[in-house]
Structure 1
C-alpha cells in the first residue's frame, strides 16, 4: 500500500461533502483546489467553520486552522486547475448526467497520471467510466457525512480499475486516519444498499403508525447498538439525497427499494432534514 501524501488535490463541488473532503486533505497537508460554479466564498466559509470545530475538539493537533485554510483555493471550473494533480474527487449532486458531464471535463483538465474518484453513494462507477477515454484510473471514494468526523471511506473498484489506483487510494485513506471497505462495483455498493434498506423500512414503520420516530430510532440504538437511528441518519444525509438513491436502486434492484409516500411528501414540502431544520426530527 502506497503511503504518500498527495501534494495537490482537486475537488469538484463545494457543498457540504466537497468542503469536508477539501478540509481533510488540506489538514493532511495537500494543496486543495475546489471547482465550484456557485458561491465560492461560501465554500471557504464551510471549510473554515469545519476547521474551527475540529480545532475546538482537539482534532487538529498543533495545526493552525488559518494555515490549513490557506492551502484551500476555489476556482470556477476544472479547466482552471494546474494539470499536475495527484487526485481529483468529484462531489457533485447524485445525478448520472451531471456526473458524466463533470468527469468528462475533469479528464480534459488533468494529466494522465491523475487518479479520478467519484464520491457517488449509489451510481455505478463503471457507468461513470463511460465519460472517460481512460476509465482505468477511475475509482469510487465514498466519504460519509460529516467527512471530517466520519471514520469510513468506501472504496469501489470496477474490473477496469488499475491495481495501482486501488493501492494509491487505500494509502491515502489510511493517511487520512480513516478506515476503508473495499467493494466491487454494484448498485448502491455495500453501505448505501444496507443503509437505505434500513432507512426506508423505518420510514414505512413511521408511516404505518408502528411507533414514533424517537422510539424507532431508540430501538436500533439501544437494541442493536447503532450509534444513530435510521430516521435521524436520514435527516443527516438529507431526505432528498436518500430519495434519489432509493429511486436509483429501485430501477436497478427492484421494488424492495421503492420510496415510501411519506418520504416523497416530506421532500415535496422541503423538509429535507438537518440542512433545512426539519425532517423526521426538528433541528436547531
Structure 2
C-alpha cells in the first residue's frame, strides 16, 4: 500500500515540520508544506534550504540531489492545497486549540481515505482523533529533532484506530528511512516517558546541592557513554518542553514520580529555558565557568559512596526501573524500549542493555540504598523485583 502514496502534506514548518518535510521529499514523495502566513512560510522554506545546503557542504548530498529534493516540495499558506494528499502530518505547536483548528480543516479538505498523522509529543492522540469524523484514520507519528538525522519514529495507535491504519503508518516510517516503534496512546509514549523523569531526577539532585551540574553531567557520560549529561540535555531539549512533558505525565498517572522539580518550574517561569533562551543550567551566551563542588555533608556522603550509591548509579537505577515498570505494564517490549532510547535519544545502550551491564541485583541494591537515604521513596518495579528474586539477568526475562 505504501507504493500507492504519492503526495504527502505537512502542516506547520517550524523546526520539526521543516525537518519532516525534508525527510519525505528525500524519500521521493511529492510534499506540500503549509504554514499559517507568508512570514512563517518564509521561515519554513529557509529551514529546509539551510538543512539541505548543510548536507551538501558535508558531502552527504550532491547539488543535483538537493535540487531534485527541493523540486519535490511545494510551499504555500492554503490548506486547500492538501485536497489530493494521501497522507498528512500535522506539526504545529503543542496546543490543543491550534491542533483542533488544523484537524477540522484537514477533515473537511482531505478525501475520506487520507490518513491524518499528528507529530504530538505530549497530547493524547485519541483526543485529537476524536476531533475528526475519521478517528480510525488518525495516528500519532512522533518524530525526533532533528528529524532528518534522528532515526526513531513512535507510531501511536488509539482505541479508535481502524485495522491496518497503524501498520500502514509504520510502513510509511520505514519507507522514509526511519525505525518505527509501535505503541498505544499513553502520556509520553516510550522515549519521553523514560527520558524526562531521568532529567527531572538530575534537576532534583542539583537543586538539593548533591552535586554540581558538571559533576552530574560528567558522571552520566562516563557511566553510560551518553553523548551528553542530563542537565546539558535539558538545556538542549528546552526546560519548558521538559516541564510540559512532566505535567502531562502527572495529569495522566498522578504519581509522585512525575512531579516536576520546583527548580525546573522556577527556571521556566524565569525564562531560563536552555539554549533557545541563552541560559538554562548553563550559560550559552559565553564560555561558562565550572561550578565548585557542593560542600555539604550529604553531597560528601554521596561522593564518597558512603550511602551505597553515587550520582550515576542512582540516576541509572531509577531510569532502568522506569523501563522495567513500562515493560512490566505491558505497554512496550524490552526491544521497543531499547530501540526508542537508542534511535530517539542517541543512547549507545538502551535501559535493558544497561541493566545487563550493571546487573539486576546492583540496580535493586542501589534503589534500596537510595530509599533508605530518602532519595527514591518507592519500591523497585514488580518486574525488576521478580528478576532479582528469580535470578534473571535481563528485562527480557519477564517481558
* TM-score of the aligned structures, taking structure 2 as reference length: 0.66
Deviation at 1:69, TM superposition (A): 2.0
Aligned to 1:257: 258
Q: In the alignment, is the contact (CA less than 8 A) between 1:5 and 1:29 conserved in 2?
A: no
Distance 1:145 1:226 in 2: 17
CA RMSD of aligned residues (A): 2.0
Aligned to 2:213: 213
Q: Compare the two structures and name the one with the higher helix fraction.
A: 2
Aligned to 2:73: 72
Deviation at 1:62, TM superposition (A): 7.5
Distance 1:31 1:236 in 2: 32
Bigger radius of gyration? 2
Task: Deviation per CA, 1:204-236: give whole Å up to 9, x if none.
Answer: 112122222232222222212333322222222
Distance 1:129 1:96 in 2: 12
Q: Compare the two structures and name the one with the higher strand fraction.
A: 1
Q: Please list every run of 5 or more consecutive structure 1 residues that lacks an aligned counterpart in the other structure.
A: none
Aligned to 1:175: 175
Q: Which has the higher contact order (CA 8 A, sep 6+)?
A: 1
Deviation at 1:47, TM superposition (A): 0.7
Q: Please list every run of 5 or more consecutive structure 2 residues that lacks an aligned counterpart in the other structure.
A: 286-399
Deviation at 1:42, TM superposition (A): 0.8
Distance 2:125 2:85 in 1: 21
Number of residues of Structure 1 aligned to a counterpart in Structure 2: 282
Aligned to 1:247: 247
Q: For structure 1, which segment, 176-185 or 131-140, has the greater mean C-alpha deviation from structure 2 after superposition? A: 176-185
Aligned to 1:12: 11
Deviation at 1:138, TM superposition (A): 0.6
Aligned to 1:23: 22
Q: Which stretches of structure 1, 4 residues or more, deviate above 4 A after TM superposition? A: none
Distance 1:146 1:52 in 2: 15
Aligned to 1:35: 34
Distance 1:154 1:235 in 2: 23
Deviation at 1:5, TM superposition (A): 7.4
Going from structure 1 to structure 2, the CA distance change for 1:203 and 1:81 (only over 3 Å counts) comes to same
Deviation at 1:63, TM superposition (A): 5.0
Distance 1:283 1:71 in 2: 37
Distance 1:103 1:142 in 2: 16
Deviation at 1:45, TM superposition (A): 0.5
